[in-house]
Amino acid sequence: MRLASSLASTLLVSPTLVLGAYNLVRDYSGTNFFSGWDFYGNYDNLTNGDVIYVNQTNATNLAYRNSVRITSQDYFPIGTVWVMDAAHMPFGCSVWPSIWTKGVNWPIGGEIDIIEGVNLMTYNQMALHTENGCTQSTTLTQSGQTGSTNCSSVAGCTVVEEQASSYGSSFASAGGGVWATQLDTSGIYVWFWTRDNIPSSVSSATDTIDPSTWGTPSAAYPSSSCNISEFFTPQQLVVDITLCGDWAGGATVYQATCGGDGTADACYLDNVIGNGTNYNNAYFEINYIKAFTVNSTVLSPTTSGGSAVLETSTSTATSIAASGTGASTQSGSGAAATWNPLHAYAAVVGTTAISALSWLLL
């Protein structure tokens, strides 16, 4: 459902971006991609999708397929830039992928939806979710189109990407692209570039990165109407794919791009109980996810208080040991991708009545 509000067209004032460099603290890529994440290991009791986020490998409930929801073990402080390079994002009827961030006591502590879409949507939708009192300013500069400005509403404060090829088959056809997200006391900003438009300051960034030259972001949430320090605790990254559920499975949302009879069960009946061939494009192909922070530090969660504490060490990507745990190596006829050892994949593997939506790392 494309959001019709045109509030964004009246937005004029430039955000004040903090200048200066951020230092690399994590590089999730290649054979180390799956190091440093926790697998959810439960059915989707968060967005009511028809999936089991593995490990529940012996599930017999045919209402579910296997999928993956991974959360970074690290928490990243206010003062972080994440950069994500993907060649392919999952898409298809009933498919609902996201790359997003959350605090330790989610939904308290803020949520940043960097990449999110459902079904056959053709554009990415960004959002913040917070407790009451954070809104998107009406005076800012962004290239995207604002949907809702209330970050504590059910939908969150949403911004639709206006550039072409930000989601679905057009994203894949363009060779994918890069998102960069700045979480700063001055605000939260998301930039998107298709493959051909990635600035060299991003593609060639190694140890440091500097957002000050990137120009107008796709989505801007300046602190003038949302005190970032108040509404956001340190954030962990989440990557997941669910099927149907609260957003993709909504009767009108589903019908908008996938048709069908408009009933509440259409998403499920038309896709989830099928043989898996519907999910040939339900995979991530991620070249890398990198995190850069101002203080070269990452955080680990405490079990109380909703805060996070500094780790004693500040290890960098190169010191993260490779581990095979959690990196499924299933394959099957439903997997459409050409496997590349440098990339991490999530794919539908559909050969039997119970298809598996699985991560592949070969």
Residues involved in catalysis? 111, 116
Residues in 279-318 that interact with ligand NAG by CB under 6 A: 294-295
Token output for 43? 């059915």
Residues in 324-343 that interact with ligand NAG by CB under 6 A: 325-326
Q: Are 293 and 158 in contact (CB under 8 A)?
A: no
Give me the least distance between CB of 59 and ligand NAG, in Å please: 8
**Closest by alpha carbon to 148, among 297, 305, 5, 312?**
5
The reply to whether 206 sits near ligand NAG by the rule CB under 6 A is no
Q: Quote the strand ranges of 41-79, DSSP E.
A: 42-43, 51-53, 65-67, 69-72
Residue with nearest beta carbon to ligand NAG: 79
Among 77, 156, 176, 217, binds ligand NAG (CB under 6 A): 77
DSSP state of 268: I
Which ranges of the chain does DSSP label H, i.e. alpha helix? 168-173, 200-203, 228-231, 245-248, 251-258, 266-267
Residue number, 71 or 135, with CB nearest to ligand NAG: 135
The reply to whether 135 sits near ligand NAG by the rule CB under 6 A is yes
DSSP collapsed to 3 states, 137-178: CCCCCCCCEECCCECCCCCCEEEECCCCCCCHHHHHHCCCEE
Residue number, 87 or 327, with CB nearest to ligand NAG: 327
The reply to whether 215 sits near ligand NAG by the rule CB under 6 A is no
Distance CA 182, CA 126 (A): 13
> Stretches 13-21, 26-34, 259-267, 269-277: which one binds ligand NAG (CB under 6 A)?
269-277
**201 burial level (CB within 10 Å; 0-12, 13-18, 19+):** middle
Give me the least distance between CB of 103 and ligand NAG, in Å please: 14
The reply to whether 275 sits near ligand NAG by the rule CB under 6 A is yes
Residue number, 143 or 225, with CB nearest to ligand NAG: 225
Under rule CB under 6 A, how many of the chain's residues touch ligand NAG? Answer: 25
Residue 110: count other Cβ atoms within 10 Å of its Cβ.
Answer: 26
> Stretches 63-71, 73-81, 167-175, 352-360: which one binds ligand NAG (CB under 6 A)?
73-81
Residues in 21-60 that interact with ligand NAG by CB under 6 A: 41-42, 45-46, 55, 57-58
Residue 146: count other Cβ atoms within 10 Å of its Cβ.
Answer: 24
**Closest by alpha carbon to 169, among 281, 333, 284, 334?**
281
Contact residues for ligand NAG (CB under 6 A)?
41-42, 45-46, 55, 57-58, 77-79, 132, 135, 150, 152-153, 227, 229-230, 274-275, 277, 294-295, 325-326
